[in-house]
C-alpha cells in the first residue's frame, strides 16, 4: 500500500501527491526549492493528531506546516509531508472587546476586515499584509512598519492551541508560579515538558540573558530569555517564532488595539549617510509611530515604473495623484537623487496634534540643512507607503533574466551605529558588483537588502554563502541580529552558532529535543539547519545538480 493510501485512511482531509501540487508546494518566496512527498489539507485537529501519531511511528517521515507560502527563509519547505493549513483552518472564531481568536490559516487581510468592524487592529502587521496569513506571522514572529511602537507578533499573542509531538492538543498561555508548579507536578508529556524547560532556563539563566540580542527587533533562535521572569512562565514566547519546529499551532488568541484616527508623514531626503545615526535618533526622540526608509535605487525603480505604482494605489482621481508627485520631481531636479529617503509617521487624535509633532521634528533637524516635507493628505502619504511596500515586487517583476535573492534580507543593528554600518555594508555588496535595493524599518535599524542574481550560473550559490558570511560577520561586529522579522529557516539557520555562540546554540538544541525528541516537526530548520542541506536546495542550481529532483 502506498504512503498516500496509508495517510488517507487516517485523515478526513485531502491527501495530494500530483505533480502540479507538489511543484506549487516546493517553493516559497525564498531562494530554495524542495519537493515534498505528500501534501495534506487537514479538516480538523483530529486529522493533525492522527497524523502526528502516524509520523511518530515512521522514522523517515516529518511534518511541516504551511499557510500562504510567503516566507523568505525556506521555512515551510520539506521533502516529506507538508500540512496545508490555509484550506480548512481559515476561520476567525471570535472578535471580542480587545482580542480576537482565529485559526492560523486566515489571511491577515481577512482577519483585519473582521477586527476593523469593531475598530480594532493587530498592529504587528507586515508589509506582505495582503498575501500572508496570521499563522505565518506567529511562526516567524513577524513585524512591520508599526513595530517601532508596538513590537513584534510575540507581544500580541495571548494564548495558543498547539499539538505537540505526543499527538495531543494543549492550551499554551502565561502561567503564575502556582500554575506552573501544578503543571510540573503532572506525570505526563505536558508536565515533563514544563519541568525540563523550567530547569533548563533556571540553570542557564545568566547565559540566556547574556545571549539575548540588544536590538529592538529579533526573530532568530528560540526566545528563551522571555519565557520566565520569576513571576510568569509564558510558553507562547517560545512557540512564536519557532517556525513549526516545536509543534503545530491550531488556534491563536491575539490582543488588539484601537488605532489612532489621524496620521501625517514627515519625509526626509538624505544626500549622504554621514549623520544618519544622529538624525534617526533625533526623529525617534519625538516618538513617531512608524519610521521607514528606502534607498536611491528603490526610488529610481519606482520613478521608472510610476504607472504600476499608480495602479497599486487605486486612485479616485489619477490627475490629482500625478500632480502629487511634483514635490519629489522638483526635489530630484534641484538636489539630485537622495541616497536615502526616511519616512517618519506621526499619529494622534486630532489633525492639529499630528501637524505639531511633524513641525517639532522638522525644526529639530534644521541644523543638518536637510530637504524635508510634510505630507498634505492621505493620497500624498500613500504614494510613499506604496513605494516602500512595493519595492520588492517591482524589482521582482522587472528583473529580466535575474531573480530577486532574499538571503541577507533582514539584518538589524542599533540605529546609532547606522552611519558607520551602512557604508561598510554597501562596500561589501559593491565588491560583488550586484544590483540591489535597501529598504526597511530605519527606526529599528532593520534593513531588507534584496540583490538581483543569475541562478543559472554555477557560482551563484558560492557567492550567496560568501556574501552571507561577510555580511553576518559585520552585523555581529556591531552586535546586531541576522534577522529582525523573517526568521532563520534554511538561509540563516546554519549561522545560529555564529550569532549566539556554541553554548547558547546547544541550549536551542536541548529545547528542540524537549519538544520534539524524534525530530518530526519541520526538520532542517533552526537548530537542524546545515550549510550542505541548504546549498543543495538552492533554486536552479539544485536542479542542475540533481535533475530528477530531491
* pLDDT value of residue 550: 26
Instruction: State how far the Cα of 476 lies from the Cα of 473, in Å rounded to an integer.
Output: 5
pTM: 0.92
Q: Is residue 447 helix, strand or coil?
A: strand
pLDDT of residue 393 exceeding 80: no
What CA–CA distance (Å, rounded) separates 445 from 431? 23
Interacting residues of 310 by C-beta distance below 8 A, sequence separation 6+: 318, 321, 322
The domain boundary, picked from 206, 227, 255, lies at 255
149 and 190 part of one domain:
yes
Specify the CATH number for the domain of residue 352: 3.30.70.2190
Mean pLDDT of 139-168: 96
Q: Write down the pLDDT at residue 311.
A: 74
Averaged pLDDT for residues 362-382 = 91
Angle, vertex CA 67, rays to CA 122 and CA 522, nearest 5: 115
- Residue ending a domain, among 190, 224, 255, is 255
* Mean pLDDT, residues 166-172 taken together: 98
Query: To the nearest whole percent, how much of the chain has pLDDT over 70?
Result: 93
Same domain? 49 vs 128 = no
329 falls in which pLDDT band (50, 70, 90)?
low
Three-state DSSP class for residue 168: coil
pLDDT-derived band of residue 322, with 50, 70 and 90 as boundaries?
A: low
Compute the distance between CA of residue 490 and CA of residue 542 in angstroms, rounded to an integer.
Answer: 14
Region 180-186 average pLDDT: 98
pLDDT at 333: 66
Is the model's pLDDT at 360 over the cut of 80? yes
- Are 53 and 99 found together in one domain? no
In a domain, 474, yes or no: no
Question: Is the domain of 29 the same as that of 81?
Answer: yes
Write down the pLDDT at residue 481: 98
Instruction: Judge contact between 460 and 404, C-beta under 8 A.
Output: no
pLDDT, the chain, mean: 92
Mean pLDDT of 528-542: 84
pLDDT tens for residues 257-313?
Answer: 999 989 999 999 999 888 999 999 999 999 999 999 988 888 777 777 777 777 777
Vertex 12, ends 105 and 27: CA angle to 5°? 45
Task: Report which secondary-structure segment, H or E, holds 249.
Answer: strand 248-255
Q: What pLDDT was estimated at residue 544?
A: 36
Question: Could you give the CA distance from residue 69 to residue 71 in angstroms, rounded to a whole number?
Answer: 6
Q: Please check whether residues 123 and 194 belong to one and the same domain.
A: yes
- The pLDDT of 247-254, averaged and rounded, is 98
Task: Mark whether 343 and 196 lie in a shared domain.
Answer: no
pLDDT at residue 542 in the model: 38
* 137 and 156, same domain (yes or no): yes
The CA–CA distances, whole Å, from 454 to 399, 421, 463 equal 10, 27, 11
Give the C-alpha separation, 42 to 1, whole Å: 21
- Domain extent for 17: 3-87
Does residue 340 lie within any of the structural domains?
yes
Cell numbers linked to 485: 522579522
Grid coordinates standing for 313?
Answer: 494605489
**Interval 430-441: pLDDT, tens:** 998 888 888 889
**Under 8 Å between Cβ of 380 and 263:** no
Buried b (16+ CB within 10 A) or exposed e, 216-241: bbbbbbbbbbbbbeeeebbbbbbbbb
Where residue 219 sits, what CATH number does that domain have? 3.30.465.10
Residues 289 and 365 grouped into a single domain:
yes
Asked whether residue 16 falls in the same domain as residue 107, the answer is no
CATH number at 78 reads 3.30.43.10
CA atoms within 13 A on the CB side of 339: 12
Q: End of a domain among 87, 115, 133?
A: 87
What confidence score (pLDDT) does residue 545 get? 33
Burial of 72 (0-12, 13-18, 19+ CB in 10 A): buried
Amino acid at each position: 500500500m502506498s504512503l498516500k493510501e496509508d495517510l488517507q485512511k487516517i485523515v478526513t482531509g485531502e491527501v495530494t501527491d500530483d505533480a502540479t501540487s507538489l511543484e506549487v508546494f516546493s517553493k516559497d518566496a525564498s531562494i530554495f526549492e524542495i519537493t515534498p512527498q505528500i501534501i495534506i489539507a487537514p479538516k480538523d485537529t483530529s486529522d493533525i493528531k492522527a497524523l502526528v501519531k502516524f509520523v511518530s511511528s515512521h522514522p523517515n517521515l516529518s511534518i511541516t506546516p504551511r499557510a500562504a507560502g510567503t516566507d523568505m527563509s525556506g521555512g515551510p519547505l520539506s521533502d516529506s509531508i507538508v500540512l496545508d493549513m490555509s484550506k480548512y483552518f481559515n476561520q476567525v472564531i471570535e472578535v471580542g472587546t480587545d482580542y480576537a481568536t482565529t485559526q492560523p490559516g486566515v489571511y491577515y487581510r481577512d482577519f483585519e476586515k473582521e477586527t476593523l468592524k469593531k475598530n480594532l487592529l493587530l498592529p504587528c502587521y507586515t508589509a506582505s499584509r495582503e498575501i500572508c496569513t496570521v499563522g505565518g506571522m506567529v511562526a516567524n514572529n513577524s513585524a512591520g512598519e508599526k513595530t517601532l511602537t508596538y513590537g513584534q507578533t510575540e507581544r500580541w499573542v495571548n494564548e495558543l492551541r498547539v499539538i505537540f509531538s505526543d499527538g495531543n492538543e494543549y492550551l499554551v498561555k502565561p502561567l503564575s508560579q502556582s500554575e506552573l508548579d501544578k503543571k510540573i507536578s503532572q506525570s505526563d508529556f505536558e508536565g515533563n515538558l514544563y519541568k525540563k524547560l523550567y530547569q533548563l532556563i533556571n540553570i542557564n539563566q545568566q547565559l540566556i540573558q547574556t545571549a539575548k540580542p540588544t536590538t529592538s527587533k529579533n526573530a532568530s533562535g528560540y526566545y528563551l530569555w522571555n519565557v520566565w521572569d520569576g513571576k510568569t512562565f509564558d510558553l507562547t514566547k517560545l512557540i512564536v517564532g519557532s517556525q513549526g519546529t516545536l509543534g503545530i499551532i491550531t488556534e491563536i488568541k491575539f490582543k488588539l488595539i484601537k488605532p489612532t484616527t489621524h496620521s501625517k508623514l514627515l519625509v526626509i531626503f538624505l544626500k549622504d549617510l554621514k549623520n544618519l545615526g544622529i538624525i534617526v535618533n533625533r526623529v525617534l526622540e519625538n516618538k513617531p509611530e512608524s519610521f521607514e526608509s528606502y534607498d536611491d535605487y528603490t526610488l529610481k525603480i519606482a520613478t521608472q515604473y510610476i504607472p504600476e505604482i499608480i495602479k497599486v494605489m487605486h486612485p479616485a482621481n489619477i490627475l490629482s495623484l500625478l500632480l502629487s508627485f511634483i514635490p519629489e520631481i522638483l526635489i530630484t531636479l534641484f538636489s539630485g537623487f537622495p541616497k536615502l529617503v526616511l519616512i517618519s509617521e506621526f499619529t494622534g487624535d486630532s489633525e492639529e496634534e499630528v501637524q505639531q509633532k511633524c513641525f517639532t521634528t522638522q525644526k529639530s533637524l534644521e541644523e543638518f540643512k536637510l530637504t524635508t516635507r510634510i505630507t498634505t493628505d492621505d493620497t500624498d502619504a500613500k504614494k510613499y507607503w506604496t513605494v516602500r511596500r512595493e519595492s520588492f515586487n517591482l524589482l521582482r517583476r522587472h528583473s529580466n533574466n535575474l531573480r530577486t535573492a532574499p538571503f541577507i534580507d533582514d539584518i538589524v543593528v542599533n540605529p546609532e551605529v547606522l552611519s558607520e554600518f551602512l557604508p561598510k555594508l554597501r562596500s561589501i555588496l559593491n565588491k560583488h558588483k550586484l544590483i540591489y535595493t535597501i529598504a526597511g524599518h530605519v527606526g529599528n535599524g532593520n534593513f531588507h537588502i534584496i540583490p538581483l542574481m543569475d541562478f543559472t550560473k554555477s557560482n551563484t550559490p558560492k557567492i550567496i554563502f560568501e556574501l552571507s558570511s561577510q555580511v553576518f560577520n559585520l552585523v555581529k561586529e556591531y552586535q546586531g541580529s541576522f534577522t529582525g522579522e523573517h526568521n532563520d529557516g534554511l538561509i540563516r539557520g546554519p549561522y545560529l552558532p555564529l550569532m549566539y555562540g556554541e553554548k547558547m546554540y546547544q541550549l536551542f538544541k536541548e529545547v528542540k529535543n524537549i519538544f520534539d525528541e524524534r525530530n518530526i516537526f519541520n526538520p532542517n530548520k533552526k537548530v537542524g539547519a546545515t550549510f550542505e542541506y541548504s546549498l543543495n536546495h538552492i533554486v536552479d542550481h539544485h536542479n542542475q545538480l540533481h535533475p530528477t529532483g530531491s
